[in-house]
Copies of this chain bind each other. A is one copy, B any other.
Amino acid sequence: MSAKPWEGVIPAEDAASFAAGYQDAERELDAGERPALLIVDMTREMAYPEYSIGWPGEGAIEANAALLAEARAIGIPIYFTKDFEDPDHRPTAAERGRWKYRRAERDPDLPSGDVIVDELAPLEGETLIHKGARPSPFFGTNLASLLTYEGVDTVVITGMVTSGCVRAAVLDAFQHNYRVVVPHEACADRSQLSHAVSMFDMHMKYCDVVSLEEALDYLRTIKPRAAATPR
C-alpha cells in the first residue's frame, strides 16, 4: 500500500494505542461489487480560492475528475452534494443551524458559490443531494433510500472538507453498514493537521483510506452495468 497522509504526524504512542484491539493499518482493501461514488461539496465556494471560504480544494479537483471519469465509464451511481437546490436560497435561521462561524462577506461580483465546480459538473442522470447547511449528506436527505434502490454495498467518498462534511459522510455511510473507501488525494481541508488526523481516525475506525491510484484500481475491477436510474 501507498503512504498514508498521517505518516509523520501521528506520534508512535498514539498509533500504538490501537495495537491491542484493532486491525493492522496495512490491511487489504475491503470493498464490494456494487459501489457508488459520493462527491461531497466540491462547489465553487469551497474549492475556488477567489471565494472567501475558498480553501486548497483545487488540488482535489483533478483527483475527483479522474474518479468521476472512471465511475462514468463503468456506469455506477454517482451523487454530488451541495447546500441548496437554488444556490441563492436565503435560509431561515433554523435552516442555517447552529454553526460556529459567521460566514465572511464575499465579493458580490462573483457568481453563486453553491454550485458544483465546472470541472466536475454533473451529467443528466447523476443525482444532486441538497443537504442544506448540515455536514452529513445522509442527515435530512433521502440519500440512504437512493443507495438502497440501487443495491449499493460500497461507497467511495471524496470532497471537502475532510474533517467536516467528508468525515460526517464517512461516519454515516459506515453506520448504515456500507463499506467505505476514501481516496485521500480527492479530499481537502483548510487545516492540514485536521486533514491528516481525520484520515487516521477514519481509517482506524470506519473505512479504508487509500490512494487515488488504489481507488481507481478498485473501480476498474467492477463490471460495467447499465444505468439503474433511467428517468
Question: Residues on A close to B: CB < 8 A?
Answer: 9-11, 13-15, 17-18, 20-23, 27, 30, 52-53, 55, 77, 84-86, 90-95, 97-104, 125, 127, 130, 132, 134-136, 139-151, 153, 163-164, 168, 171-172, 174-180, 190-194, 197-198, 200-201, 203-208, 228-231
Contacts of A18 in B (CB 8 A): 101, 190-191
* Contact assessment for B21 and A193 in the assembled complex, using a CB-CB cutoff below 8 Å: no
User: Number of copies of this chain in the oligomer?
Assistant: 4
Cross-chain contact B192 with A22 (CB below 8 angstroms): no
Complex Cα distance, B11 from A104, in Å, reads 22
Q: Which of B98, B163, B174, B231 contacts A174 (CB 8 A)?
A: B98
Q: For A55, list chain B residues within 8 Å (CB).
A: 17
> Given A53-B20, A125-B92: A176 and B144 within 8 A (CB)?
yes
Q: Do A150 and B229 touch across chains, with their CB atoms under 8 A apart? A: no
Contacts of A148 in B (CB 8 A): 144, 147-148, 176-178
Q: Contact check, B127 vs A204: say whether CB atoms are below 8 A apart.
A: no
Contacts known (A10-B191, A97-B149, A142-B95); A102 close to B22, Cβ less than 8 A: yes
